[in-house]
Chains A and B, each alone.
Chain A
Amino acid sequence: MSYKESTTPPEGYDVGRENMLDFKIDKQFEMLEQSDSKNFILTTVDEVFNWAKLSSIWPVTFGLACCAIEMIAAGATRYDIDRFGAGAFRPTPRQADLMIVSGTVTGKMARRLKLIYDQMPEPKWVMAMGSCAIGGGPYFKYGYHVVKGVDFIVPVDVYVPGCPPRPEVLLEGLMRLQDKIRGRKGKLITPKWVLDYAQKIPYRK
């Protein structure tokens, strides 16, 4: 039985101190309501929390198919995914924040995928990596055993296209997810030097 449900306070409990605290908090809220900036405290805490969340997204080790190799490559030497705080791949979903669905989801795997998603603690995010996870990919037409998109099973936050996506694209998707957690709308701005460089590449027949 907790304290609030009982009629009398437990022994040694300082009732006067609690009343004092209540008074203080009430006073603070009154002062806040009178001031111009309403809900000042709540938004700031949220921003600090979001900053902490986006700086250490731990993905679950969940490689399904070809895209898993690119996911490992993104975590390996050249594209060090640790720079974005997302390099700690956890073998258990109970310690993870992000599920990168890297590869084809089949009918047999779908139930397990849902189970792993349910085991992850809130807050959690899902990234659909590769065209198979987005919408069936090359197995769309004749693939009788392929789920045509992982968003039939779990809600998806970020779609990373490609077959398989390059590690750079995975990092880009991670940054868009960080924008989403931060509460900002993500923007894809291609730098000018990239556009200039792209024009110089000779087109292959």
Chain B
Amino acid sequence: MATEDVKATGWADQDHVPEIKSELLELNMGPQHPATHGVLRLLLETDGEIVYKVTPVMGYLHRCAEKIAEGVNYKQWVVYTDRFDYLAPMCCNHAYVTALEKLMGQEVPERGEHLRVVAAELSRIASHLVSLATFGLDMGAFTPLLYMFREREEILNLLERIAGGRMLYNYMVPGGVRYDVPDDKWIKDVLSFVDMMETKKVPEYNTLLSYNKIFIERTANVCVISPEDAFTFGCTGPVLRGSGVSFDCRRDDPYGAYPKFDFEIPVGQGQMGAVGDCWDRYFVRMLEIEQSCRLIRQALETLPDGPYQAIELKKPVKAPMGAVYSRTESAKGELGHYLIGDGGQTAFRNKVRSPSFCNLQVVTKVGVGQMVSDLVALVGSLDIVLGEIDR
């Protein structure tokens, strides 16, 4: 048989199989998909199970918040910051009022700052609980969701007692907080909750999920983000810290009452695999819950007496002409506001730098070459919130 005939039939000689030209399959993941945490759409180009290209398509939840900032006055816009990161609304409130007070040159009473720290950290714990629970859900573990939502309901109860709302609070106002502590029992309840969280619940989660063999097999050494990649794409928060970089706005660019308190910045150690894999990003959040508990205890034990508002609630707020950039550490990362005032009661422009938006972009680099099921692990470990990405 001639050589050309062998090539034509193909099967005769396995070493000389002619190259099969195949097209990549375009696959839409989302916008209605249970594992994309909202209405994110990932446009994949796959060859079998291997992903060759990832393109995140956004804008399905664009709610015009930055344009609304030019229409409503400064105090009214606090309502819209709640709806950015609806898992940790207090952190978003904190970011905006910090920027506004920087523009106004407004001082905040000590008691107000302490209450802000308590509320923001409680909110951060609630956000991390949802993040860990949904990450477990993506990996096929349904039971931790039930346990973590149980504690989240406790936090929502505590925040409802101080702020009046169950999920979205509108609690922080320029110059302080809206309500004082309702009674002394609230402080006791928060402290007992924090104790319970540290001593009982976090070890329980570790037993349930963190050190579970199946979970480790599924997440360790998967989708490793190197520190260089994390810097290039502007990742912040637990995604950056999971890659082993110790950076936290609460310590490195302090604001509010944070410089007074003593806390650590947990970073990814690579306990189960390489530094920066999905398990590290997951476990950094677990460690941050403990640090938030420490912060809450310190802030409540040194809660000073005195006023909690600097400006009367019903008074409209005016800010001078000028521009400021202020950044805070939200539950997802660095949340920045570039606020331009024109001297009136309404902002001229407010540009928001949202952490989830920058964290998401890393999938275009790290997601390439992974299996489709590992891409789900990557998106779950980034902990994105679409309300913040699209605004």
Residue contact B179 to A78, C-beta cutoff 8 Å:
no
Tell me whether A66 is interfacial, beta carbon within 8 Å.
yes
A144–B70 Cα gap in the complex (Å)?
13
Tell me whether B83 is interfacial, beta carbon within 8 Å.
yes
Tell me whether B53 is interfacial, beta carbon within 8 Å.
no
A78 → chain B closest CB, angstroms: 5
Binds B, one of A17-25, A28-36, A101-109, A185-193: A101-109
A145 → chain B closest CB, angstroms: 5
Residue contact A64 to B38, C-beta cutoff 8 Å:
yes
User: Among A66, A138, A141, A145, which residue has its beta carbon within 8 angstroms of that of B167?
Assistant: A66
Tell me whether B146 is interfacial, beta carbon within 8 Å.
yes
Residue contact B164 to A204, C-beta cutoff 8 Å:
yes
Residue contact B80 to A138, C-beta cutoff 8 Å:
yes
A46 → chain B closest CB, angstroms: 32
> What number of B residues sit within 8 Å (CB to CB) of A?
36
User: Among A93, A109, A145, A163, which residue has its beta carbon within 8 angstroms of that of B39?
Assistant: A109
Binds B, one of A47-55, A67-75, A176-184: A67-75
Residue contact A204 to B63, C-beta cutoff 8 Å:
no
A152 → chain B closest CB, angstroms: 17
Decide yes or no: A65 and B83 within 8 Å by CB, A77-B150, A145-B63, A164-B167 being known contacts: yes
A66 → chain B closest CB, angstroms: 4
Decide yes or no: A69 and B68 within 8 Å by CB, A106-B61, A108-B59, A138-B79 being known contacts: no
Contacting residues of chain B (20-40) with chain A, CB-CB under 8 angstroms: 31-34, 38-39
Tell me whether B71 is interfacial, beta carbon within 8 Å.
yes
Tell me whether B168 is interfacial, beta carbon within 8 Å.
yes
Tell me whether B358 is interfacial, beta carbon within 8 Å.
no
Tell me whether B205 is interfacial, beta carbon within 8 Å.
no
Decide yes or no: A144 and B149 within 8 Å by CB, A65-B387, A66-B83, A204-B164 being known contacts: no
Tell me whether A146 is interfacial, beta carbon within 8 Å.
yes
Contact residues in A for B365 (Cβ distance below 8 Å): none
Residue contact A104 to B32, C-beta cutoff 8 Å:
no
Tell me whether A143 is interfacial, beta carbon within 8 Å.
yes
Decide yes or no: A141 and B71 within 8 Å by CB, A68-B38, A70-B167, A204-B179 being known contacts: yes
A142–B391 Cα gap in the complex (Å)?
13
Residue contact B63 to A109, C-beta cutoff 8 Å:
no
Residue contact B168 to A104, C-beta cutoff 8 Å:
no
Residue contact A64 to B167, C-beta cutoff 8 Å:
no
Mark each residue of chain B from 110 to 137: 1 if its CB lies under 8 Å from any CB of chain A, else 0. 0000000000000000000010000000
Tell me whether A166 is interfacial, beta carbon within 8 Å.
yes
B312 → chain A closest CB, angstroms: 12
Tell me whether B351 is interfacial, beta carbon within 8 Å.
no
A116 → chain B closest CB, angstroms: 6
Residue contact A112 to B32, C-beta cutoff 8 Å:
yes
Tell me whether A161 is interfacial, beta carbon within 8 Å.
no
Contacting residues of chain A (37-69) with chain B, CB-CB under 8 angstroms: 60-66, 68-69
A75 → chain B closest CB, angstroms: 9
Contact residues in B for A153 (Cβ distance below 8 Å): none
Residue contact A164 to B168, C-beta cutoff 8 Å:
yes
In this complex, which of B32, B34, B61, B68 has the most chain A Cβ atoms within 10 angstroms of its Cβ? B32
Mark each residue of chain A from 67 to 102: 1 if its CB lies under 8 Å from any CB of chain B, else 0. 011101100111000000000000101000000000
Mark each residue of chain A from 148 to 178: 1 if its CB lies under 8 Å from any CB of chain B, else 0. 0000000000000001101000000000000
Residue contact B34 to A61, C-beta cutoff 8 Å:
yes
Tell me whether B62 is interfacial, beta carbon within 8 Å.
yes
Residue contact A104 to B63, C-beta cutoff 8 Å:
yes
A143–B71 Cα gap in the complex (Å)?
10
Contact residues in A for B150 (Cβ distance below 8 Å): 76-78
Decide yes or no: A163 and B149 within 8 Å by CB, A64-B39, A66-B387, A144-B64 being known contacts: no
Contacting residues of chain B (48-90) with chain A, CB-CB under 8 angstroms: 59-64, 67-68, 71-72, 79-80, 83, 86-87
Supply 25 A–B pairs (Cβ within 8 Å), ascending by A: A60-B32, A63-B39, A64-B61, A65-B86, A65-B386, A65-B387, A73-B152, A76-B145, A76-B146, A77-B147, A77-B153, A78-B149, A78-B150, A93-B32, A103-B61, A109-B61, A112-B31, A112-B60, A116-B32, A141-B68, A143-B68, A145-B63, A145-B64, A163-B168, A164-B167
Binding site for A on B (CB under 8 A): 31-34, 38-39, 59-64, 67-68, 71-72, 79-80, 83, 86-87, 130, 145-147, 149-150, 152-153, 164, 166-168, 179, 386-387
Binding site for B on A (CB under 8 A): 60-66, 68-70, 72-73, 76-78, 91, 93, 103-104, 106, 108-109, 112, 116, 138-139, 141-146, 163-164, 166, 204
Additional 13 contacts, C-beta under 8 A, given A65-B83, A66-B83, A66-B86: A61-B34, A65-B61, A66-B387, A70-B167, A77-B150, A77-B153, A109-B61, A116-B32, A138-B80, A142-B68, A144-B67, A164-B167, A204-B164
Q: 6 tightest CB-CB pairs across the interface, nearest first?
A: A76-B149, A66-B86, A142-B68, A142-B71, A77-B150, A91-B34
